Chains A and B, each alone.
Chain A
Amino acid sequence: MDIQNLIRDDEVHRDVYVSDEVFALEMDRIFGSAWIYVGHDSQIPEPGDYWTTRIGLESVVMVRGKQQEINVFYNRCPHKGARIAGDGCGHTKGLFRCPYHAWTFNLDGTLRGVPYLEGYENTRFDMADPRFSLRKVARVASYRGFVFASLSEKAVDFESFIAGIKSSLDNFCDRAPNGTVSVAGGVFRVVQRSNWKIFFENLNDTGHPIATHESSYRAARQYADEELGGELPFELHIIDGNGAPPKFWSDLDLHAFDFGHSYMTAIFNAPDDPLSQSYFASLAAEVGEDRAKEILGVNRHNTIIYPSCSPHTSFQQWRVIRPLAVDRTLVEIFTFRLDGAPEELLQRTFTYSNVVNSPSSIVMTDDVHVYAECQKGLATQGGDWVSQHRNAGQDLPFSGADGGVIGVGTSELPIRNQFRAWREYMAGDVAETIPQQGNER
């Protein structure tokens, strides 16, 4: 399959969404090499704490080691292949013990014990041979507690990968009076009957809310009009935002960076209420008023760290995108505590997540529905190409500190930018040499 024939500067072939062959290639060339978000180090505070998740189709375990280091292994016993850790969070006391034949492994993955060891004498088995230990993923790196891993030694280094979008990770953490954040409150998990890229495209797509979310913003406004004299409490405010007029969306900024990353500026602000004020005071007490204003002045809606996650810096949400099959995607939603902030702020984070990100969200359900409709339509013979023409060729280099390119709020820049990275990954040559970005044309 010639990948270059599937992609143009302003449109892509439908096969990128519906072809099993393309999906298999993506798992190899994108998820087999890119830096993929694994988890946050607050999920595994003590040695022996672990978190089981996926990198592409691989089951992996992130574990806190004896020296406080973070190790990431493939979740496979080298003996018969059983997974050594179940799903989710757990704790093991100093070693992993396979549930099948009780082989044991140290927290750094090395083989520790094998029952009936005498039976292995004069065989090719060797305790010291790495192939009888848990296999580590090729590379692990973290920034401010966010842990990423790459299954390949060859692809781009982490510093280069994260450079463009680092400012969102910084702002995510700088908003905490202590400068650190921690996962809190559980994990939402939502399954979508659509290709993983459709979700990514939607994250910075400002053209859809007014159409897709009409039922929920109308419902919120109806309630506000009938019961509250038009006033919008926080929950309704965040639902109502999707109904903003076209000019509102085009006035936003979209910033795009190498490797498919991007972010959009905020679509609504936290209310100026006693909670926001006490939170501001807690932040200003640590960093000073000017710096606190500067931090909170960086107000962004979804950030995209392609191809695995999307932080929402202003409300401490972090979505993780896990492809399951060509037409099936799992999205996990984490919420974070700003360490040192009033506990009530975390409650607002939960409220935001309950309304917007819960499987029972009245907002998201229409997104998930239209993704599935795209997946169905793209499987038809009704046309081979998918348009990304909106404001194509009109993006400009950004002179601010971030660099990258900037487009008007309703541009499809982030989508074209994702496919620029997609093309590089799929061609097998994402390396330190990825071209620097200028004007998109």
Chain B
Amino acid sequence: MRAARAPITRASEVPFETLCQFLYQEARLLDQRKFDQWNDLFAEGGMYWIPLEEDQEDPINHLSLAYEDSMMRQVRINRLNHDRAWSQKPRSRTSHTVSAIVVESVCEASNQLVVGSAFSMAEWRSFGHRTFAGLYTHTLQFSDGRLQIVEKRVDLIDSSEAFEPIEVFI
């Protein structure tokens, strides 16, 4: 029925269901270790950010658990795929759950949406099973009929805790 209408051009017109599917697909690509496809979801200049502090505003003038552009994401991916990534023997297996998805804001000028959600990620690796939990904030660009990630912000509920190494994308 939607196909009968003119194609969507505005971020504000993107159906909620499409946003949900985008977030689910993004998480699923990570769980399937399709990291290259996952990285392709980002817009040019898009950033993957795990702040160190609650309500951290600045990724440049403060430490972050991760603040990665396409280069650093790709280097992380290269490493995860490398045969001598010792700590990835056995390799991490993950399961994401994404829920409580809400559209927080829409910017007509930039054609961007900010989408909030809650997530948990279970990970199994050499030292056992652990869980990450927190909030995602996706800033999404709508252009050429598709959504792209301008920023994926991962606010862990325990971001300032001590961690064992975090290797895969959360």
Which residues in A have some Cβ–Cβ distance to B below 8 Å? 185-193, 212, 214-216, 218-220, 222-223, 227, 233, 235-236, 239, 330, 335, 343, 346-347, 350, 353-355, 358-362, 364-366, 368-370, 372-373
Q: Pick from B63, B83, B161: contact of A354, CB below 8 A.
A: B63
| Contact count A vs B, C-beta below 8 Å | 120
Does chain A have a CB within 8 A of B20? no
Stretch among B1-9, B93-101, B135-143, B162-170 lining the A interface: B162-170
A208 CB, min distance to chain B CBs, angstroms: 11
Show 5 residue pairs from A and B whose CB-CB distance is below 8 angstroms, ordered by the A residue.
A186-B62, A193-B127, A215-B85, A215-B88, A359-B65
Q: Do A346 and B61 touch across chains, with their CB atoms under 8 A apart? A: yes
Give the CA-CA distance A188 to B62 in the complex, in Å.
11
Taking CB atoms, residues of chain B closer than 8 Å to A335 are 63
Given known A-B contacts A218-B78, A350-B62, A233 and B163 have beta carbons under 8 A apart: no
Taking CB atoms, residues of chain A closer than 8 Å to B160 are 186-187, 189
Q: Pick from A192, A212, A343, A360: contact of B86, CB below 8 A.
A: A212
B39 CB, min distance to chain A CBs, angstroms: 12
Given known A-B contacts A190-B165, A233-B71, A360 and B78 have beta carbons under 8 A apart: no
Q: Pick from A185, A193, A370: contact of B63, CB below 8 A.
A: A185
* Extra pairs beyond A186-B63, A353-B63, A365-B87 (6, CB < 8 Å): A186-B62, A188-B63, A189-B161, A218-B79, A218-B82, A366-B87
A238 CB, min distance to chain B CBs, angstroms: 12
Does chain A have a CB within 8 A of B19? no
Given known A-B contacts A350-B62, A350-B63, A354-B64, A190 and B163 have beta carbons under 8 A apart: yes
Taking CB atoms, residues of chain B closer than 8 Å to A236 are 71, 75
Taking CB atoms, residues of chain B closer than 8 Å to A218 are 78-79, 82, 84
Q: CB-nearest residue of chain B relative to A358?
A: B65
Q: Do B62 and A185 touch across chains, with their CB atoms under 8 A apart? A: yes
A384 CB, min distance to chain B CBs, angstroms: 25
Q: Do A215 and B86 touch across chains, with their CB atoms under 8 A apart? A: yes
In chain B, positions 108-134 with a C-beta closer than 8 Å to chain A are 126-127
A215 CB, min distance to chain B CBs, angstroms: 4
Give the CA-CA distance A174 to B161 in the complex, in Å.
32
Given known A-B contacts A215-B85, A368-B87, A370-B86, A189 and B162 have beta carbons under 8 A apart: yes
Q: Pick from A223, A235, A354, A372: contact of B66, CB below 8 A.
A: A354
Taking CB atoms, residues of chain A closer than 8 Å to B164 are 190-193, 359, 368
Chain B 51-93: CB-based contact to A (< 8 A → 1; otherwise 0): 0110000001111111100011011111100111111100000
Q: Do A359 and B85 touch across chains, with their CB atoms under 8 A apart? A: no
Taking CB atoms, residues of chain A closer than 8 Å to B74 are 223, 227
A293 CB, min distance to chain B CBs, angstroms: 29
Give the CA-CA distance A184 to B151 in the complex, in Å.
25
Give the CA-CA distance A210 to B169 in the complex, in Å.
25
Given known A-B contacts A223-B71, A358-B63, A372-B127, A216 and B79 have beta carbons under 8 A apart: yes
Q: What is the number of residues of chain B that contact chain A, defined by CB distance less than 8 Å?
A: 36
Q: CB-nearest residue of chain B relative to A233?
A: B71
A175 CB, min distance to chain B CBs, angstroms: 19
Which residues in B have some Cβ–Cβ distance to A below 8 Å? 50, 52-53, 60-67, 71-72, 74-79, 82-88, 126-127, 160-167
Taking CB atoms, residues of chain B closer than 8 Å to A350 are 60-64
B84 CB, min distance to chain A CBs, angstroms: 4
Q: CB-nearest residue of chain B relative to A235?
A: B72
B48 CB, min distance to chain A CBs, angstroms: 10
Give the CA-CA distance A343 to B61 in the complex, in Å.
8
Q: Do A220 and B75 touch across chains, with their CB atoms under 8 A apart? A: yes
Taking CB atoms, residues of chain B closer than 8 Å to A188 are 52, 63, 65
Taking CB atoms, residues of chain A closer than 8 Å to B63 are 185-188, 335, 350, 353-354, 358
Q: Pick from A187, A192, A360, A364: contact of B50, CB below 8 A.
A: A360
Q: CB-nearest residue of chain B relative to A218?
A: B82
Given known A-B contacts A223-B75, A362-B167, A190 and B162 have beta carbons under 8 A apart: yes
Q: Do A368 and B53 touch across chains, with their CB atoms under 8 A apart? A: no
Q: Do A189 and B167 touch across chains, with their CB atoms under 8 A apart? A: no
Q: Do A191 and B162 touch across chains, with their CB atoms under 8 A apart? A: yes
Q: Do B85 and A360 touch across chains, with their CB atoms under 8 A apart? A: no
Taking CB atoms, residues of chain B closer than 8 Å to A359 are 65, 162-166
Taking CB atoms, residues of chain B closer than 8 Å to A354 are 63-64, 66-67
Q: CB-nearest residue of chain A relative to B166?
A: A360
Q: Do B82 and A214 touch across chains, with their CB atoms under 8 A apart? A: yes
A103 CB, min distance to chain B CBs, angstroms: 29
Give the CA-CA distance A193 to B64 in the complex, in Å.
23
Give the CA-CA distance A219 to B73 in the complex, in Å.
11
Q: CB-nearest residue of chain B relative to A359?
A: B163
Q: Do B82 and A215 touch across chains, with their CB atoms under 8 A apart? A: yes
Q: CB-nearest residue of chain B relative to A239?
A: B75
Q: Do B61 and A347 touch across chains, with their CB atoms under 8 A apart? A: yes
A219 CB, min distance to chain B CBs, angstroms: 4
